[in-house]
């Protein structure tokens, strides 16, 4: 009974305090709403076409493969930057090609094998960087296919010229049979890429969630600077009640914000000429990821609040750390445009777990099972932060 | 203030006889802040009887707030014991805290909330709810004189209004012991007067009140007992009357029309029993062997010379002088 009254008191004051903090509301609600619209529209074409610059293609030819015409055809593709290397045997070249694309040194690698027999055309194997977004992967493959087709067409033309009835008898020897193109395994299968809205809506929603760190820790600092904490400490109210009072309003405002942003992506974005956000078909999984990300953000905010000593520290450290997490986690810059090494680094950012979770549902159409690992990571992070914050908060409130 | 040099050397007053059932019983208390190299409270023993209105005095840094912090279980004593209504904090923390209401020295209000919301918040945090909460909030608003402003955010209040609310918030759970750390800083005389009236009423209703202040005149008017802290030690405790009597000295102060001061001084210097006359026009201070015995004769002689004093004061003028004599320090930077 008594605890219920105390909890109510803690909740009401935090809620009113938050609702009357204009800067906080601007940051937590308006910022993501505006950013999602702007960024989704701005990046729309990038996500549709994905040709930021010519793709790097390495052309490897085993000795004696006679790559002349093929190489020339590839070089005619403006969207490919081709470098050619000749050495080694087929197998060694294939191994090299695999490494080149896997490590991100080249988007595409073509290995042209040696022709074993005049009647059997040589085989060319195309390797594609698995980290490339699907559209880019498809584009790269089709460009290479076009080059191969061109070589085949040239040969056909040479045969036609030779047998043409109005020809002057035996023309030049028809061209040799062109190589057969094989796309290496893994070249086409891979995660589908998100649309602009599927990247931007969850990304900015997550950023705003974590940005609650700033108003939350400022509120805690203010309580400490004014005599309020002294009064609270003198009252028979346990620290967990006060802490709970801080968690719930922020949880609600974050949830509200996320719903707004998703609704905006689904219904407002198309009105402005953008592609509507599609959110998959797993509302429970979505709620789970959202709640986990929310708790992680609140835990981080409370943890920071127990460490910072001044409002300046709260704002600068809070904002900077969240922005770093966002930059690493593929929030500010989509992960798919990051080099492989950065993509690997992104797993250390809780925001990346959140984004992966949302995109698993939106893009891959995953359900609960698909989002479980990311959800657990978020919950684990949030729990650790909350526990440490609770212990520190309790120590601050008890007699010194 | 030259006459003050003649006051007796300060010596602690004898504490009043130990009370059997005090509201607050502090024994041999020592307190030190973390990372401080010396104690801020050094061996304080203080018993406050139930229903007392005690003024806790001391210059800046004397340790008043520190003592109150330990009393309110905000700070752990390094040594010594504190019991409130016979209960120690360690025995029953929540019950102990329920006994005490603290008005902190710095304002303890949420600026973005209204007066009513602040009262409701702290009322609920104290465990109040329902009808009782509503009653106490109404009482608090009335106490602070803020009924008409109750819907406005505290950040829009004047300093004095905030102070009043700060005090009212403390009263909300209706604890038997009130600990008020300089509750009237920055409050205008009328409001202060109203607050004093309210506090006296609470005191009459049985509340034990511990009140720190730099305003000696205020303590003198409000409190019936004082305790004086200096350098972390208790250097005096007792009834105000007894303290004043002790430092009354042998002083008479007279105020004249400035044109008559010199003439009056000339007359007084010739009188029997008058040891010293100092002029600070239009005031005149004299030291006599026995002020109350000599005063009638003095007035008679002056009347004879057709000099009429505008005012007459006997004894140390106020607690300020007594305090100065006791601690050798001024309580406030400016009078
Ligand atoms: N947080 C702290 N850490 C270390 N020392 C402190 C701390 N707070 C106060 N002190 C020291 O303890 C002593 C007593 O301070 P306290 O605040 O109790 O004085 P006070 O009598 O309340 O003074 P004032 O009239 O200015 O409010 C001072 O010497 C002060 O410097
Ligand atoms: Mg103080």
- The chain A residue lying nearest B97, using CA atoms, is A236
Answer yes or no: is A188 within a domain.
no
Query: Which residues from chain A sit within 8 angstroms of residue B111, using beta carbons?
Result: 226
> How far is B112 from A113, CA to CA, in rounded Å?
76
- Contact (Cβ atoms closer than 8 angstroms) between residue B210 and residue B54: yes
Check whether residue A254 and residue A172 sit in a common domain: no
Answer yes or no: is A327 within a domain.
yes
Answer yes or no: is B309 within a domain.
yes
Radius of gyration of chain B (CA): 23
| A5 and chain B in contact, CB less than 8 A | yes
Check whether residue A254 and residue A169 sit in a common domain: no
Query: Which two tokens mark B63?
Result: 């340790």
Judge: A228–B110 Cβ closer than 8 Å, yes or no. Answer: yes
Check whether residue A87 and residue A227 sit in a common domain: no
Residues in chain A: 400
Ligand 1 atom showing the smallest separation from residue B62 Cα = 21
Q: Which range marks the domain in which residue B298 is found?
A: 250-315
> How far is B143 from B115, CA to CA, in rounded Å?
12
What pLDDT, on the 0 to 100 scale, is given for residue A160?
Answer: 81
- Per the listing, tokens 């950040």 go with B155
Cα-Cα-Cα-Cα dihedral of B163, B169, B171, B174, to 10°? Answer: 180
What pLDDT, on the 0 to 100 scale, is given for residue A249?
Answer: 93
Check whether residue B178 and residue B305 sit in a common domain: no
What pLDDT, on the 0 to 100 scale, is given for residue B7?
Answer: 38
Ligand nearest, relative to CA of residue B228: 1
Check whether residue A360 and residue A214 sit in a common domain: yes
> How far is A75 from A195, CA to CA, in rounded Å?
31
The beta-strand segments (E) located in chain A are 55-61, 80-86, 108-112, 123-128, 180-183
Query: Which two tokens mark B333?
Result: 């930077």
How many domains does chain B fold into?
2
Answer yes or no: is B39 within a domain.
yes
Question: Between A226 and A357, where is the model more confident?
Answer: A357
What pLDDT, on the 0 to 100 scale, is given for residue A189?
Answer: 42
Mean pLDDT of A45-50: 63
Check whether residue A288 and residue A382 sit in a common domain: yes
Task: Choose the closest CB to A226 out of B95, B108, B127.
Answer: B108
| A78 and chain B in contact, CB less than 8 A | no
| B221 and chain A in contact, CB less than 8 A | no
Check whether residue A269 and residue A121 sit in a common domain: no
How many domains does chain A fold into?
2
Answer yes or no: is B132 within a domain.
yes
- Contact (Cβ atoms closer than 8 angstroms) between residue A350 and residue A378: yes
Average pLDDT over chain A reads 84
Check whether residue B102 and residue B147 sit in a common domain: yes
Question: B115: distance to nearest CA of chain A, Å?
Answer: 12
Among candidate residues A183, A214, A242, the one where a domain is terminated: A183
Check whether residue A159 and residue A91 sit in a common domain: yes
- Contact (Cβ atoms closer than 8 angstroms) between residue B284 and residue B265: yes
Among candidate residues A150, A183, A216, the one where a domain is terminated: A183
pLDDT at A187 over 60: no
Check whether residue B124 and residue B194 sit in a common domain: yes
Check whether residue A199 and residue A323 sit in a common domain: yes
Check whether residue B172 and residue B303 sit in a common domain: no
Give the C-alpha distances (Å, rounded to integers) separating B274 from B177, B244, B300.
48, 22, 15
Check whether residue B161 and residue B292 sit in a common domain: no
Q: What is the maximal distance between C-alpha atoms in chain A?
A: 110
Answer yes or no: is B119 within a domain.
yes
Check whether residue A33 and residue A65 sit in a common domain: no
Is residue A90 very low, low, confident or very high in pLDDT (cuts 50, 70, 90)?
Answer: confident
CATH of the domain at B118: 3.40.50.300
Among candidate residues B178, B204, B239, the one where a domain is terminated: B239
Among candidate residues B239, B266, B283, the one where a domain is terminated: B239
- Contact (Cβ atoms closer than 8 angstroms) between residue A27 and residue A314: no
Angle at B291 between CA B285 and CA B295, to 5 degrees: 85
CATH of the domain at A85: 3.40.190
Check whether residue B270 and residue B194 sit in a common domain: no
Range with lowest mean pLDDT among A6-10, A160-164, A257-261: A160-164
Check whether residue B153 and residue B286 sit in a common domain: no
pLDDT digits (tens, 9 = 90+) for A191-217: 466 788 888 899 999 999 999 989 999
Is residue A239 very low, low, confident or very high in pLDDT (cuts 50, 70, 90)?
Answer: very high
Ligand 1 atom showing the smallest separation from residue B63 Cα = 18
- Contact (Cβ atoms closer than 8 angstroms) between residue B42 and residue B232: yes
What pLDDT, on the 0 to 100 scale, is given for residue A375?
Answer: 95
Is residue A48 very low, low, confident or very high in pLDDT (cuts 50, 70, 90)?
Answer: low
pLDDT tens, chain B, 335 aa long: 333 333 343 444 444 555 568 999 999 999 999 888 899 999 999 999 999 999 998 888 889 999 999 999 999 999 999 999 999 999 999 999 999 999 988 889 999 999 999 999 999 999 999 999 999 999 999 988 888 888 999 999 988 889 889 989 999 999 999 999 988 887 788 888 888 888 999 999 999 999 998 777 788 888 888 898 888 988 888 887 777 665 556 678 888 888 888 889 999 888 888 877 878 778 887 877 777 888 888 899 999 988 988 888 876 556 666 666 565 554 444 33
Answer yes or no: is B245 within a domain.
no
Task: Choose the closest CB to B107 out of A2, A227, A399.
Answer: A227
Answer yes or no: is B328 within a domain.
no
Query: Which residues from chain A sit within 8 angstroms of residue B110, using beta carbons?
Result: 13, 16-17, 228
| B331 and chain A in contact, CB less than 8 A | no
| A236 and chain B in contact, CB less than 8 A | yes
pLDDT digits (tens, 9 = 90+) for A10-23: 999 999 988 998 88
Check whether residue B95 and residue B136 sit in a common domain: yes
Among candidate residues B239, B270, B293, the one where a domain is terminated: B239
Check whether residue B101 and residue B145 sit in a common domain: yes
Check whether residue A37 and residue A68 sit in a common domain: no
Is residue A280 very low, low, confident or very high in pLDDT (cuts 50, 70, 90)?
Answer: confident
- Contact (Cβ atoms closer than 8 angstroms) between residue A252 and residue A297: no
Q: Which range marks the domain in which residue A130 is found?
A: 52-183
What pLDDT, on the 0 to 100 scale, is given for residue A274?
Answer: 82
Ligand 2 centroid to residue B64 C-alpha, Å: 5
What pLDDT, on the 0 to 100 scale, is given for residue A107?
Answer: 83
Give the C-alpha distances (Å, rounded to integers) separating B296 from B199, B249, B282, B316.
39, 18, 21, 19
Ligand 1 centroid to residue B62 C-alpha, Å: 7
Check whether residue A43 and residue A56 sit in a common domain: no
Query: Which two tokens mark B245?
Result: 């009597």
Task: Choose the closest CB to B113 out of A17, A227, A230.
Answer: A17
Q: Whose CA is nearest to atom 1 of ligand 1?
A: B33
Respond yes or no on whether the N-terminal peptide bond of residue B282 is cis (omega within 30° of 0).
yes
What's the pTM? 0.71
Answer yes or no: is A239 within a domain.
yes
Query: Which residues from chain A sit within 8 angstroms of residue B89, using beta carbons?
Result: 399
Check whether residue A274 and residue A211 sit in a common domain: yes
What pLDDT, on the 0 to 100 scale, is given for residue A382?
Answer: 96
Check whether residue B202 and residue B149 sit in a common domain: yes
Check whether residue B58 and residue B156 sit in a common domain: yes
Ligand 1 atom showing the smallest separation from residue B59 Cα = 25
Query: Which two tokens mark B54?
Result: 């005690």
CATH of the domain at B261: 3.30.70.100
What pLDDT, on the 0 to 100 scale, is given for residue A273?
Answer: 84
Check whether residue B232 and residue B299 sit in a common domain: no
What pLDDT, on the 0 to 100 scale, is given for residue B320?
Answer: 66
Among candidate residues A162, A183, A204, the one where a domain is terminated: A183
């Amino acid at each position: 009974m008594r605890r219920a009254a105390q909890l109510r008191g803690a909740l009401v004051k935090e809620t009113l305090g938050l609702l009357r903090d204009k800067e906080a509301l601007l940051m937590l609600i308006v910022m993501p709403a505006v950013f999602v619209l702007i960024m989704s529209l701005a990046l729309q074409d990038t996500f549709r076409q994905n040709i930021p610059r010519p793709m790097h293609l390495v052309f490897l030819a085993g000795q004696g493969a006679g790559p002349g015409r093929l190489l020339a055809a590839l070089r005619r593709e403006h969207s490919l930057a081709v470098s050619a290397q000749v050495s080694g045997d087929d197998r060694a070249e294939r191994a090299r090609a695999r490494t080149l694309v896997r490590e991100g040194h080249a988007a595409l690698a073509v290995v042209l094998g040696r022709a074993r027999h005049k009647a059997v055309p040589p085989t060319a194997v195309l390797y594609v960087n698995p980290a490339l977004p699907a559209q880019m992967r498809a584009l790269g493959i089709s460009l290479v296919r076009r080059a191969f087709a061109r070589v085949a067409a040239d040969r056909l033309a040479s045969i036609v010229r030779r047998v043409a009835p109005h020809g002057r008898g035996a023309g030049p020897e028809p061209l040799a049979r062109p190589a057969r193109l094989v796309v290496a395994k893994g070249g086409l299968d891979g995660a589908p890429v998100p649309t602009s809205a599927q990247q931007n809506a969850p990304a900015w929603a997550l950023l705003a969630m974590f940005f609650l760190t700033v108003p939350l820790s400022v509120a805690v600092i203010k309580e400490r600077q004014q005599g309020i904490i002294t009064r609270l400490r003198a009252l028979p109210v346990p620290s967990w009640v006060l802490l709970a009072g801080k968690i719930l309003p922020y949880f609600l405002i974050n949830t509200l914000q996320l719903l707004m942003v998703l609704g905006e992506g689904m219904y407002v974005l198309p009105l402005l000429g953008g592609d509507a956000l599609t959110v998959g078909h797993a509302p429970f999984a979505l709620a789970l990821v959202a709640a986990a990300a929310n708790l992680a953000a609140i835990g981080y905010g409370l943890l920071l609040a127990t460490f910072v000593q001044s409002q300046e520290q709260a704002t600068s450290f809070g904002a900077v750390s969240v922005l770093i997490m966002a930059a690493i986690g593929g929030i500010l810059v989509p992960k798919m445009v990051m080099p492989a090494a950065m993509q690997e680094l992104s797993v250390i950012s809780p925001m990346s777990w959140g984004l992966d979770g949302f995109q698993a549902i939106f893009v891959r159409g995953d359900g609960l099972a698909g989002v479980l690992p990311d959800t657990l990571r978020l919950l684990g992070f949030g729990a650790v932060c909350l526990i440490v914050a609770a212990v520190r908060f309790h120590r601050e409130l008890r007699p010194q | 203030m030259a006459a003050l040099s003649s006051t007796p050397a300060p010596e602690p007053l004898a504490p009043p006889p130990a009370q059997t059932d005090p509201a607050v019983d502090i024994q041999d208390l020592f307190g030190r802040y973390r990372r401080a190299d010396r104690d801020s409270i050094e061996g304080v023993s203080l018993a406050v009887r139930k229903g007392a209105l005690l003024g806790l005095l001391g210059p800046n840094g004397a340790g008043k707030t520190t003592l109150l912090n330990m009393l309110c279980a905000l700070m752990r004593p390094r040594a010594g014991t504190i019991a409130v209504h016979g209960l120690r904090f360690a025995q029953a923390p929540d019950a102990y805290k329920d006994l005490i209401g603290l008005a902190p020295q710095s304002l303890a209000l949420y600026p973005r909330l209204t007066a009513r919301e602040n009262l409701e918040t702290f009322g609920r945090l104290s465990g109040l709810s329902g009808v009782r909460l509503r009653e106490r909030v109404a009482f608090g608003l009335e106490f602070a004189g803020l009924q008409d402003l109750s819907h406005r955010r505290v950040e829009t209040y004047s300093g004095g209004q905030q102070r009043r609310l700060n005090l009212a918030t403390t009263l909300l759970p209706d604890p038997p012991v009130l600990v008020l750390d300089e509750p009237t800083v920055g409050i205008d005389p009328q409001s202060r007067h109203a607050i004093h009236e309210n506090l006296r009423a609470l005191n009459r209703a049985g509340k034990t009140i511990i009140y720190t202040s730099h305003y000696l005149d205020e303590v003198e008017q409000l409190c019936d007992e004082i305790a004086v802290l200096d350098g972390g030690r208790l250097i005096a405790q007792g009834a105000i009357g007894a303290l004043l009597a002790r430092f009354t000295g042998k002083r008479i102060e007279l105020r004249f029309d400035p044109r008559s001061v010199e003439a009056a001084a000339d007359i007084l210097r010739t009188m029997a029993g008058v040891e010293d006359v100092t002029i600070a026009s239009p005031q005149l201070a004299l030291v006599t062997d026995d002020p109350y015995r000599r005063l009638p004769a003095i007035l008679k002689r002056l009347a004879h010379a057709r000099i009429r004093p505008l005012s007459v004061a006997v004894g140390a003028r106020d607690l300020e002088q007594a305090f100065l004599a006791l601690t050798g320090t001024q309580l406030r930077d400016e009078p």
